[in-house]
Amino acid sequence: MNSIQDCYSLYNGVNVPCVAFGTWKMPDEVAEVSVACAIQNGYRHIDTALAYQNECGVGAGVRRSGVRRDELFLVSKLPNDDHGYEKAIAACERSLRNLGVDYLDAYLIHWPVLVENQDRLEEDLCNTWRAFERLYADGKLRAIGTSNFLEEHIELIKANFQNYPMINQVQMHPQNPQEEMVAYCQANRILPEAWSPLIQGQAFKRELLIETAAKYGVSVAQLCIRWIFQKGVVPVPKSTTPERIRNNADIFGFSISDEDMEKIATLRTYGMIGNPPSVPRTHQVVGF
């Protein structure tokens, strides 16, 4: 791949651009300007969620960009409180209205909500996934997937449905390399995506990343995004600064050596940001 517009192919044949633009923590007015800037600088994969409270701004940015809707891959996510068949369908329809579009290219269950549903987890996930299959069959969604799911929860869906998640978006960066999840996804034809590729800003404080970026003559952000890309994972960087938006897309002029790929992964000793999905929502770091 040589461009952020080059694509992976999901198991249903839908193409997904290999780098996404994230919009977490962007108010509507900021999202509109940033999304338009990203699209005008080549991004074709835009990621949002109803929980981000900026779908209206993201939709406005898509229209402001001047790029045709069918040239974009637009993603949103189901809120935690809207699991279940009827609620999931209603939430998706709300996202479509907010974004001002007739369909989503992908719709993800944002979190598995494991603790609150521990006594009825399979029922909750199956009722929710049934709604996703209905929306998919009706043409409202081109692809369906999950976010922050663990392997065993994807397996629950696989055991009950013909269509299983086509995408799983997880927290992945040099401090949380997610080797097992990436291997699982790739073995099961699920496209892995990485939220928070810059460790929510912590990447710029790690001497190893600063030194390695200097070695390759790139920014720390470019290094982290390229590191994820070389693992066959879709990075989802975000920025509201035009220069950084452009910089984050410029990752195809260099390649990280195998030795440096593993050296960067030694930052795994710092661990993930916040808590895993098994922690109750009230104690979660709100975000992706």
Q: Please state the φ and ψ torsions of residue 147, each to the nearest 5 degrees.
A: -140, 135
Whether residue 213 is contained in a domain is answered as: yes
pLDDT at 283: 39
Whether residue 223 is contained in a domain is answered as: yes
Tally of structural domains, the chain: 1
Whether residue 1 is contained in a domain is answered as: no
Whether residue 136 is contained in a domain is answered as: yes
Whether residue 288 is contained in a domain is answered as: no
| Residue 263 CA to its chain's centroid (Å) | 25
Q: At what angle do helices 242-249 and 28-40 cross, to 10 degrees?
A: 50
The domain spanning residue 279 has which CATH number? Answer: 3.20.20.100
Strand order in the sheet with 144-147: 21-22, 45-47, 73-78, 106-109, 144-147, 167-171, 191-195, 234-236
d(CA 2, CA 6): 7
Q: With CA atoms as reference, report the closest residue to 150 among 119, 174, 184.
A: 184
Domain that holds residue 236: 7-283
Q: Please state the φ and ψ torsions of residue 108, each to the nearest 5 degrees.
A: -120, 145
Q: Specify whether 43 is catalytic.
A: no
Whether residue 2 is contained in a domain is answered as: no
pLDDT under 50: residue ranges of the chain: 280-286
Whether residue 144 is contained in a domain is answered as: yes
d(CA 157, CA 141): 18
**Lookup result for tokens 């709100």:** 286
Whether residue 27 is contained in a domain is answered as: yes
The catalytically annotated residue of 8, 11, 52, 85 is 52
pLDDT at 113: 84
104 three-class SS:
strand
d(CA 14, CA 143): 7
The neighbouring-strand residues paired with 145 are: 108
